[in-house]
Amino acid sequence: MTSSTGPTAPLTTRGAAVAFGDRVLWSGLELDLAPGEFLAVLGPNGAGKSTFLRAVLGEQALSAGQMSVVGRPPGRGNRSIGYVPQQKALDGATPLRARDLVALGIDGDRFGLRRRRREDRQRVDEALRAVGATAYADAPIGLLSGGEQQRVRIAQALVGDPALLLCDEPLLSLDLRHQRAVSSMIDRRRREHDTAVVFVTHEINPVLDLVDRVLYIAGGRHRLGTPAEVLTSESLSDLYRTPVDVFSVRGRIVVVGTPDHPVEAGRRHDHSHHLERPVAAVHR
Amino acid sequence: MSDVFSFEDYGQLLGLVHNSLIAAVLLGVVGGLVGVFVQMRDMQFAVHGISELSFAGAAAALLLGVNVAVGSVLGSLVAGSLIGVLGVRARDRNSVIGVLMPFGLGLGVLFLALYEGRAANKFGLLTGQVVSVDTVQLGWLSGVSAVVLIGLAVIWRPLTFVSADPEVAAARGLPAGLLSVAFTLLLALAVSLAVQVVGALLVLSLLVTPAAAAFRVTASPVLAPLLSAAFAVTSAVGGILVALGTSVPISPFVTTISFAIYLVCRLLSGRRTRRGWESRHADPVDNSSHMALS
């Protein structure tokens, strides 16, 4: 187990790029993620946010540059990474309880039959307690609500004591209270255990207070910096190459005038705190 | 009815089906355990498809006068490899199966039509012939069962991970494609066992129904396979024991017992969902008064 407080940087990239043929998603990415740092990855749908996670996981090869993930080149099966995938309802027929899904985070990749050690079972209990899921630890995962499943997924990602936590839209389809619960859970983890967090989201507002830096990807380019540096009218206008206005309204950030994105057209937009789409649509 | 049921010489008959009972226990254990993953991976249609090609293989063996068990295993493995390699994604898989199945069944019918031996042998391949398990066949069945059980034990946990939670399993570096092919081959072997005992048409009753019943009453990853295997053994052995006293083939009894177990489990699960988890106390976050923040 790699110690999360060790000297190895959780994530380092040098001139990293991903392109599909002529279409460059991002390039020249220089990132040094510090232990315990909270990085939000923002941008319109299809910009390459999830591809960034896939590159860190070793599921997507870089087309240029280097990347180092907890001291190793990106490769499948890095046990120092905890991963919360984009939410997809777990099958109701699956014969697994919440605690079993979490336990797979410890030994799901081991071949052969072996009794779980008591310390592993204790770690599962602790992980469930840390996300407030003890009450439904023995419930079939298929019967849990979206918010409950998401807590269990975070417990699964954290039970292996990762140095780097990757979350792909972990707040999607959660109501505001669950959004707060889940993001503060992740925040507590990185403060107490120095786990670096890469948090892909299309809504910055639920995590705006927690984020150290923002990686904003759009149109094949990116901006990296603190929210105050990146989320400004000037910076985003430059990134989108079109006039974009960024307002701060009662602690929330509202971005107006981003180019409409066809992929986003079908998306539900009943939340008032979306980063770009609803307000942009009104002003188009 | 008195012509159908007669338990007078039951003790003597029991001695004759000794081999068949062992075969039924083996098949029950293998079918019940494999069924757990059939259920988790939605491969019920694959079971049916493989069983038709297994039937074709067994029919070819009958025609050529070689060991039927070998023919059935070969037919299954051909089907399993094709499905495993061509149909990694669920939708591809179903269309591959839909294409293979009638072809296999057609071949089987052709081989049977050309076969000039006992008619009971022909019928047995489709609807079951467990009473005729001889010692050579039992050797084959035991060997194949051992291979399936060992194979399953080796891949059990990764296969569970990949089946239940494919994204995270892939991120952990598990080879989903390889595991899928490996499981399909083990499934093919299990199907070939079942074809020889309950017949190609009724394989589902031992590879699908018991696991489906078990999933209704438990979500424990330890209890579900145990129950599934117990249900399958009960159906297979029970079917033989009842059939002994009758002039009817065993398969209707096997299928009826396994269906009855499923019905009981469904009824139990209806009560469990209504009174159990659905009425559990609400998520603490839902009760807290964070409303002011929104």
Q: pLDDT digit string (tens) for A150-178?
A: 899 999 999 999 999 999 998 887 888 88
Closest CA to B228 of B179, B273, B171, B190: B190
pLDDT tens by residue, A213-247: 999 999 899 999 999 999 999 898 888 888 888 88
Q: Which of B40, B156, B277 sits opposite A139 (nearest CB)?
A: B277
Query: In this prediction, does ipTM exceed 0.95?
Result: no
H or E stretch including A29? strand A23-33
Residue B126: inside a domain: yes
- For residue B39, being part of any structural domain is answered with yes
**Do B171 and A94 make contact, defined as CB atoms within 8 angstroms?**
no
Nearest CA in chain A to B154: A112
pTM of the model: 0.85
Per the structure, the complete domain to which residue B221 belongs is given by 10-276
Lowest pLDDT segment from A42-51, A114-123, A273-282: A273-282
pLDDT digits (tens, 9 = 90+) for B36-91: 999 999 899 999 999 999 999 999 998 998 888 889 999 999 999 988 888 767 67
- B294 found inside a domain: no
Q: How far is CA B217 from CA A138, A245, B210, B224, B261, in A?
A: 14, 56, 11, 8, 11
Is the model's pLDDT at B182 over the cut of 50? Answer: yes
Residues A96, B161: C-beta atoms closer than 8 Å: no
When divided into structural domains, chain B yields a total of 1
Return the amino acid letter for A64: A
| Residue B128 maps to a domain | yes
B166 found inside a domain = yes
Residue B89 included in any domain: yes
Query: Which CATH number fits the domain that encloses residue B144?
Result: 1.10.3470.10
Indicate the range of A58-67, A83-92, A275-284 predicted with least confidence. Answer: A275-284
Query: How close, in Å, is residue B127 to chain A by CA atoms?
Result: 30
Q: What is the mean pLDDT of residues B157-162?
A: 94
Tell me if B75 is assigned to some domain: yes
Contact A253, A56 (CB under 8 A): no
- Contact residues, chain A, for B160 at CB < 8 Å: 96, 104, 108
Assign B279 a pLDDT band (cuts: 50, 70, 90): very low
SS3 assignment, position B154:
helix
Q: Which of B172, B140, B136, B142 is nearest to B157 (CA)?
A: B172
User: Chain B partners of A97 at a C-beta cutoff of 8 Å?
Assistant: 219-221
pLDDT band at residue B292 under the 50/70/90 scheme: very low
Q: What is the pLDDT of residue B257?
A: 96
Q: Give the A:B interface size as CB pairs under 8 Å.
A: 135
Test B277 with A100 for CB contact under 8 angstroms. no
B153 in any annotated domain? yes
Say whether B157 and A95 touch across the interface (CB within 8 A).
no
pLDDT at A267: 40
- Taking contacts as CB-CB distances below 8 angstroms, the residues of chain A near B218 are 95
| DSSP H or E segment with residue A214 | strand A213-218
Token couple for A57: 């996981």
pLDDT given at position B276: 53
B9-16: list long-range contacts, CB under 8 Å, 24+ apart: B10/B244, B10/B245, B13/B244, B13/B245, B14/B244, B16/B131
The mean pLDDT value for B241-270 works out to 89
Nearest to B254 by CA among B243, B263, B244: B243
Cβ A195 vs Cβ A82: under 8 Å:
yes
Among candidates B169, B281, B286 on the partner chain, residue whose Cβ is nearest the Cβ of A108: B169
Is residue B113 scored above 50 in pLDDT?
yes
